Amino acid sequence: MAYVRRRIGGALLVLVLAFIAAYILLAALPGDAVLARYGNPDLGLTAAQLAEIRAAYGADRPQLVQFFETAGSFLRGDLGYSIQSGAAVSALLAEALPSTLTLAALGLVSAVALAVAIAITATHPGLRGHRAARALRNLLRGLPPLMVSLPVFWIGIVLIQVFSFQLGLVPVLNAGPIESLILPVATLAIPIAAPLAQVLIRSIDEVLAQPFVSVARARGATNTWLLSRTVARNAVLPALTMAGLLFGELVGGAVVTEAVFGRMGVGQLTAQAVAARDTPVLLAVVVISTVVFVLINLVVDLLYPVLDARLRRSDAAAPTRRAAVAVR
Amino acid sequence: MSAQTLTPSGAPAGSGAPARAPRLSALRPGVVLSALVLLTALAWALLPGVFTAQSPTASVGASLQAPSAEFWFGTDATGRDVFARVVHGASHSITAAVVAVAVGLVVGTTLGVIAGSVGGFVEEALMRLVDMLLAIPGLLLSLSVVILLGFGTTNAAIAVGITSIATFARLSRSRVISVRRSEYVEAAFGSGGTLPAILWRHILPNSAAPVIALAALQLGSAILQISTLGFLGYGAPPPTPEWGLLIAEGRDYVATAWWLTLLPGLVVAAVVLATNRLSSAIGQGESA
Amino acid sequence: MPSVSRRSALALGLGLPALMTLASCGNGSSGSDGAAAGEPQQGGTLTYLEPQTWTTLYPPAGGFYPNGGLINNLTDRLLYQNPETLALEPWIATALPEVNEDATEYTFTLREGASYSDGTLIDAENVVKNFDLYGIGDPERALTVSEAINNYDHGEVVDATTVKFFFSAPSPGFPQAVSTINSGLLSSATLDRSGEQFGPGNAADLIASGPFVVSAEEIGTQITLAVREDYDWAPASLGHEGRAYLDEIVYLVASESSVRVGTVTSNQAHIARQIDAPDEAQFEADGLVLYAAPTNGVNNSLSFRFRDPALEDIATRQALIAAIDRQAIVDTLFTANYPLATGALGAKALGYVDTSEHYAHDPALAATLLDEAGWVAGADGTRAKDGAPLTLTFNEALPQPRSREVVTLIQEQLAELGIDVQLLPGDQATQDAARAEPGKVQVYHSMVARSDYDVIKSQFSSDNRNALLNGHPDGTVGDEELDALFAQIASTPDEEGRAEASAAAQAHLAEQALILPLFEEPQVYGHVDAVQGFSTESVARPSFYDTWLAG
């Protein structure tokens, strides 16, 4: 229980730190939300009219006063209104969050599936023998770096051009809920799968190079058995760390996909709010993403000891030896 | 493009390799090719004038011409030679990628290794700081940093680098912890080794592989992230011929002038692949 | 062994451009050509693509095109400005207003029977309430005053169908102002809302009297308008009476230009706004139509901020005008839909005067003028005077087409004469903050769309957009005469007087070399040919009342 309490304390600390850091960062940017909205030449307001509006928003008060007021209303659960559009921040999030979470979750699942498929095929010992097989192996190993060497927006635009506009397979805008997810999920999954596959391949290689594997193989263990039992279990740890990290990135980083596919999501919301210096929206995004991040990490951390026996310090037996013993 | 020009020279070099000692198996054609790709990129960065006579910032012909013998990569929306822009862009992009990775690697790994090996309160404090960095969406962080520092290639690189600090820190910490708890490190502690010595002798070398893999990947992805900043309108001001920006600015022409994004994109892909190939070869060489 | 993988990687790489070439040639697959115009058909849902999402439906803040594109189809106005002739015609008012001698009192008679979509009538009390808000604003509720209404004092209900507006000074632009989307009429309950309540998430609760009403909204991505069956008060000069032809209009946001274009060319949507010049060619294919509407206001132009030390000398400004090759810019970046500007205003704009003789391209003259002004070429080629280099910062006009590329070309052209051009990088908020601060931007790239004589005042007067930064934040004004000329346009009661005042202001701008007009900026729409009867209002916002879908 002490562990859980410490974890929650840590999480709250992170939340407070992130909130303060984000507020300072946003306050330091040139221009503010009121200016961004009402200083736009399209409105043709005079300097005096602008000053009146600023006073109405309280944007002319000292930063510290504004900070405590904002922090206070957040504590009361009041996220406030977007200054740019006047929409309630909670309404904006209610619209953006489910869309992004769906996209991110599907993207991550597809990415993991893709990464595992690539990694297992690329490290499959069966691919060491034949010349063509080895070529395939090298091609697969070259795939992850290739996948991250294409900008996401470019992948998205090309996927749309080819699959939607030219081949007419999937509509982009104005499509059903499932159809409209196909290309965005693919766009998101490709670059996310790459680092995962990379880490998986490295880890599997490392494990395969360890002595117990040859011992196991010498004793007649099949490749599939080896992969699923020992290798995968050892390799999944760093991959899981990566995945935990990446999900947070996905939530905020879906911006490009959302921009290309005209989806409303947290990423898009963030990018627009930064351009508009829309502090209430941005602080809410920071709070939400911190909560999501803390939760995901809690899950990953709790799974750590389960997955890596080496962390169970009470267990004296080293994993290498145990694995070797297990083979017998 | 560079991959194509290098193919003939790559093949003969490769055929000689297997005859050497097994230790040199790293010198396979792929590695030689990768080295040549990187050397070409470096040469572009250092001596762009040797590779193209055209100015990267001046209109040299009609706009949006397809690739031809005169303009290898065609011309862009204002009639500039795309090949010249790619060649001159090498220095911007390579510097930017190196700066970005350096920021993330140095700061992140330092934090992670200290946290992982010292432990206790220090670890707790550092990791909360890292958590905070991770919790604030990277997008918000990098856009804000660009707006704060001002628009430009180096500032964009720093912004991108900052977002990767946390990733490096967490990865290196998790590696340090798992290496630290392995038998041989415990044995080293048991035989009276000091922390710095063990850190240097055992923990660092054995924690490095995934961090290096990440750094290698990050090199390429830094160029792409800078490109994404360009896509969102936070790139370097014109006429900077930075690679990521070339791709970002050419994207509106995907249907009408594919060469604007595709050819610079292939150059970036070739360089990223080459970096990767070399880093994995170096990794293998070290562990052999 | 790796050579195999290399070759296949190469093949993969080369396959892509081949595919893309195929993609770029394979256009015109939508060649169902038979949708020739015939009798308008009722019904159908039109999909319309906007590059950005709307931000508010408060009419005075509707200048932003995504806002205006909605407000124009949701609201009615007292008067209708015919987009062809720019003449004012009756709409909710049964006739043009009666006006007193010095244009400080306007009396409108309202038509009977026009109602808001919640059933309340458009009566005198409601109309007065509208203009008391639009003419004065309410900073407490963050509701701004309308830029188009000058010198408003108050409105009075004369009887149920007669209203009278009073002004503290002549306000000859008022009749045109009531015809713009900034004066869209709203129900009394809607006018009581706060600024926040005009924002996204509230669209369906905003009650107006137009041919369409908001039926559904998804924040940030789409908004759906449904036809109002009992609508029966369209301006007489429109193609038909009664309800609009379309049943529904779906506005979708598609910010990526290539996606917007591709969605229409592949027949997945009907019409898109903001087709970039390089994409226009794609609409030459069968089954596709390009629609370029003039914006009838101040042209897309460069304003030289003459109070900045670098541009104080008229010779320097004249040198810039002579050095910049506008024709090359238009030829390189734009199409025939972007005609070279011949003066401060668009050729169809009210009060237009041709001042093109002031804008001749002559690099040799430019060099001479720069020498005369004391700018001497330094070691690095950049000219300098008293040790200060001739460095000019241009803003990036983010809403304007290809501003970045325009400045890039100018950068190149001016570099040849030893003038260093910098583009102020940054998003809209950064640009807006820098715009009003002396010393940040020397050359300001912008345009304004509004078809009234007042538009030139809106753009340049120091109490409006202040494009020349004639007025500094400390309250000082550099060129009082210029401000007086603009004030004249907005306060002369009669039409001829206003035209003369406008001509005088344009002459002053040209003679003092204060601006360089680049081109007449259109709004370019691309649509499939099933869309019939599409038109735009006087500054090119879409009007869907007469639009119908064939086939």
Q: Check CB contact of A152 with chain C, cutoff 8 Å.
A: no
State yes or no: cis peptide before B239, omega within 30 of 0: yes
| Option in B128, B210, B255 nearest A238 (CB) | B210
Closest chain B residue by Cα to residue C415: B58
Spatial separation of the C-alpha atoms in residues C56 and C183, rounded to whole Å: 14
Q: What is the mean pLDDT of residues B188-213?
A: 76
For C338-354, the pLDDT digits (tens) are 999 999 999 989 999 99
Closest CA to A259 of A126, A103, A51: A103
Q: Give per-residue pLDDT as tens, C435-457.
A: 888 999 999 999 988 888 989 99
Give the C-alpha separation, C25 to C513, whole Å: 46
* Amino acid making up residue A57: Y
Q: In sequence order, what DSSP letters do the residues of B135-180 get, joined into one string? A: HS-HHHHHHHHHHHH-SSHHHHHHHHHHHHHHHHHHHHHHHHHHHH
What is the overall mean pLDDT for chain A? 76
Residue C539 distance to chain B (closest CA, Å): 26
Nearest-angstrom CA–CA distance, C537 and C540 = 5
pLDDT band of A326, cuts 50, 70, 90? very low
- Alpha helices (H) in chain B, listed in sequence order: 2-16, 29-46, 48-51, 82-102, 108-118, 120-135, 138-149, 153-180, 183-190, 195-198, 204-231, 243-250, 259-287
Q: Which of B132, B183, B272 sits opposite A149 (nearest CB)?
A: B272
**pLDDT above 90 covers what percent of chain A?**
0
- Please give the mean pLDDT across all residues of chain C: 88
Predicted pLDDT of residue B284: 60
* pLDDT, average across residues A39-49: 72
Is C327 a residue whose pLDDT tops 70? yes
Per-residue model confidence (pLDDT) at position C342: 95
| Cross-chain Cβ contact B231/A311 below 8 Å | no
Report the 10 Å Cβ neighbour count for A91: 17
DSSP bridge pairs for C143:
C138
pLDDT of A82 reads 83
Distance, in Å, from the CA atom of C491 to the CA atom of C485, rounded to the nearest integer, reads 10
* Three-class DSSP category at C186: strand
- In whole angstroms, give the CA distance from residue C92 to residue C15: 61
Q: Which residues lie below 8 Å from residue A292, measured CB to CB, with a gap of 6+?
A: A247, A248, A251
Say if B59 is an interface residue toward chain C (CB within 8 Å): yes
Secondary structure of C135-161 as H, E, C letters = HHCEHHHCECCCCCCCCEEEEEEEECC
Q: What is the mean pLDDT of residues B166-182?
A: 82
Min mean pLDDT across A237-241, C17-21, C399-403 is at C17-21
Phi-psi region at C49: left, alpha or beta (left = phi > 0; alpha = psi -120 to 50): beta
What residue in C sits closest to B5 (Cα-Cα)? C10
Identify which has the larger pLDDT, A234 or C543.
Answer: C543
Residue A241 pLDDT exceeds 70:
no
State how far the Cα of C328 lies from the Cα of C344, in Å rounded to an integer: 19
According to DSSP, the β-strands at C420-423 and C391-394 are parallel
Q: Are A47 and C436 a contacting pair at CB < 8 A? A: yes
Which helix (H) or strand (E) segment holds residue A41: the answer is none
pLDDT computed for residue A285 by the predictor: 86
Contacts of B194 (CB under 8 A, 6+ apart): none
Averaged over C2-12, what is the pLDDT? Answer: 37
| Average pLDDT over every residue of C37-58 | 89
**Which amino acid appears at position B101 of this protein?**
V
3 state DSSP class of C494: coil
Q: Count of alpha carbons within 13 Å of C269, Cβ hemisphere only?
A: 28
Residue with tokens 């451009």: C17
Tokens 């297992």 belong to A120
CA distance C216 to C17: 42
Please compute the mean of the pLDDT values over residues C230-255 and round it to a whole number.
93
Taking each helix axis from N to C end, the angle separating B108-118 and B120-135, rounded to the nearest 10 degrees, works out to 140
- Does the distance separating the beta carbons of B273 and C404 come in below 8 Å? no
Separation of alpha carbons B145 and A28, rounded Å: 10
For residue C461, the one-letter residue type is S
Q: Check whether A313 has a pLDDT greater than 60.
A: no
B238 vs C24, C279, C423: nearest CB: C423
Tokens 């002369």 appear where?
C492
Residue pair A193/A114 in contact by the 8 Å Cβ criterion: yes
State whether residue A203 sits within 8 Å of chain B by CB. yes
pLDDT digits (tens, 9 = 90+) for B40-71: 998 998 988 888 888 888 888 887 888 888 88
Determine the average pLDDT of the residues in A269-280. Answer: 84
Percent of chain C with pLDDT strictly greater than 70: 93
Task: Collapse the DSSP code of B229 into the 3-class scheme (helix H, G, I; strand E, B; otherwise coil) and give the result.
Answer: helix
Closest residue in C to B30 (Cα) is C2
Question: Is it the case that residue B190 has pLDDT exceeding 60?
Answer: yes
Strands (E), C267-313: 271-273, 288-294, 298-304
CB contact under 8 A, A49 and C263: no
The chains in contact with chain A, meaning 3 or more Cβ pairs closer than 8 Å, are B, C
Residue C326 has pLDDT above 50, yes or no: yes
Q: Which of A218-222, C18-22, C267-271 has the lowest mean pLDDT?
A: C18-22
Give the count of alpha carbons within 13 A of A323, CB side only.
27
- Chains near B, with 3+ CB pairs < 8 A? A, C
Query: Would the pLDDT of C33 be above 50?
Result: no
Reported as a pLDDT band with limits 50, 70 and 90, residue A77 is confident
Task: Give me the pLDDT at residue C445, please.
Answer: 95
Q: What pLDDT does residue C347 have?
A: 92
Span A15-36, average pLDDT: 84
CATH 1.10.3720.10 boundaries in chain A:
90-276
Least Cα distance to A255 among A83, A103, A90, A98 occurs for: A103
The single residue listed with the structure tokens 């820190």 is: B169
- Sequence-ordered alpha helix ranges (H) in C461-494: 480-491
Nearest CA in chain B to A206: B209
Spell out which residues of chain A touch residue B260, defining contact as CB-CB under 8 Å.
Answer: none
* Alpha-carbon gap, residue B227 to B248, rounded angstroms: 6
- Please tell me if residue C392 touches chain B, with a CB cutoff of 8 Å: no
Q: Which residues contact A72 (CB under 8 A, 6 or more apart)?
A: none
Using CA atoms, how far apart are residues C215 and C203, in angstroms rounded to an integer? 9
Chain B touched by A13 (CB under 8 Å): yes
CA-to-CA distance for C325 and C321, rounded, in angstroms?
Answer: 8
Count Cα atoms within 13 angstroms, Cβ side, for A165: 28
Q: Which tokens sit at A189? A: 């999954």
pLDDT tens profile C490-530? 888 888 999 999 999 999 999 999 999 999 999 999 999 99
Contact residues, chain A, for C400 at CB < 8 Å: none
User: Model confidence over B114-143: pLDDT tens digits?
Assistant: 888 887 888 888 988 888 888 888 888 888
Q: Does C327 touch chain B (CB under 8 A)?
A: no
Q: Is A148 on the interface with B (CB under 8 A)?
A: yes
Question: Is A17 touching B (CB cutoff 8 A)?
Answer: yes
Q: Give the residue from C193, C187, C232, C192 showing the smallest Cα distance to C207.
A: C187
Contact B137 A18 (CB under 8 A): no
- Say what the pLDDT of residue A144 is: 79
Distance separating the N- and C-terminal Cα atoms of chain C: 59
Which of B139, B114, B109, B138 minimizes the C-alpha distance to B126?
Answer: B114
Residue C319 has pLDDT above 90, yes or no: yes
Rounded CA-CA distance C430/B147 in Å is: 8
Lookup: tokens for B60: 């040299």
**C524-545 pLDDT, tens digit each:** 999 999 999 999 998 899 999 9
For residue A211, the model assigns a pLDDT of 77
- Pairing type for strands C443-448 and C288-294 reads unpaired
**Contact list, C463 vs chain A (CB under 8 Å):** 46
Q: Which residues of chain C make contact with B253, given a CB cutoff of 8 A?
A: 258, 278
The answer to whether the Cα torsion of B136, B139, B143, B146 is positive or negative is: positive
Residues of B in contact with A243 (CB under 8 A): none
From C295, C297, C352, select the one nearest C498 (Cα to Cα): C352
Region A238-254 average pLDDT: 64
* Contact call for residues C48 and C249 (beta carbons, < 8 A): yes
Q: How near does any CA of chain B get to the CA of C410, in Å? A: 11
Alpha-carbon distances of A182 from A102, A110, A153, A282, C16, rounded to whole Å:
12, 11, 15, 28, 21
ipTM of this model? 0.76
Looking at residue C467, its amino acid is A
Residue A172 is predicted with a pLDDT of 79
| Residue C305 pLDDT > 90 | yes
- Nearest C-alpha of chain B: how many angstroms from A123? 14
A264 touches chain C (CB under 8 A): yes
- CA dihedral B194→B197→B198→B200, nearest 10 degrees, is 160
pLDDT confidence bin for A245, thresholds 50/70/90? low
Strands C45-50 and C271-273, by their bridges, are parallel
The DSSP code for C357 is G
* From B78, B251, B255, residue closest to C262, measured CB to CB: B255
- Are residues B144 and A26, on separate chains, in Cβ contact within 8 Å? yes
User: Which residues in chain C are contacts of B266 at CB distance < 8 A?
Assistant: 13
| A267 pLDDT higher than 90 | no
The verdict on a CB contact (< 8 Å) between B134 and A293 is: yes
Mean pLDDT for C463-492 is 89
Contact C24 B256 (CB under 8 A): yes
Contact A91 C219 (CB under 8 A): yes
Cβ contacts of A135 within 8 Å, gap of 6 or more: C1, C4, C5, C8
- Structure pTM? 0.83
Size of interface A-C (CB pairs under 8 A): 194
Phi, psi for residue B104 in degrees, rounded to 5: -65, -45
Is A156's Cβ below 8 Å from some Cβ in B? no
Is A289 in contact with B136 (Cβ distance < 8 A)? yes
Is residue C21 within 8 angstroms of chain B, CB to CB?
Answer: yes
Determine phi and psi for C116, rounding to 5 degrees.
Answer: -80, 165
- For residue B252, what is the DSSP state? G
Q: Do C26 and A171 touch (CB under 8 A)?
A: no
Name the residue among C10, C425, C427 with its Cβ closest to that of B237: C425
Q: Give A149-170 pLDDT, tens digit per residue.
A: 777 888 888 888 888 888 888 8
Q: Helices A179-209 & A131-148, crossing angle to 10 degrees?
A: 120
Q: What is the mean pLDDT of residues A108-125?
A: 82
Q: With residue A5 as reference, give the H or E element that holds it.
A: helix A2-28
Query: Sorting pLDDT into bands at 50, 70 and 90, what band is C46?
Result: very high
Flag if A270 and B139 touch (Cβ within 8 Å): yes
Q: What is the pLDDT of residues B217-230, one digit of tens each?
A: 677 778 778 888 88
* Residue of chain A nearest B169, judged by CA positions: A245
DSSP for C365-405?
Answer: HHHHHHHHTT-EE-TTS-EEETTEE-EEEEPP-TTSTTHHH
Note the pLDDT of residue C21: 36
Asked if B254 and A157 come within 8 Å (Cβ–Cβ), the reply is yes
Cβ within 8 Å, pair A56-C8: no
Of B134, B143, B175, the CB nearest to A248: B134
CA distance A315 to chain B (A): 12
State the pLDDT confidence band at B27, using cuts at 50, 70 and 90.
Answer: low
Chains that touch C (3 or more CB pairs under 8 A): A, B
B115 contacts B169 by C-beta, under 8 angstroms: yes
Selected for mutation to probe chain B from C1, C332, C391, C392 (highest B CB count within 10 Å) is C332
The domain defined by A90-276 folds into MetI-like fold (1.10.3720)
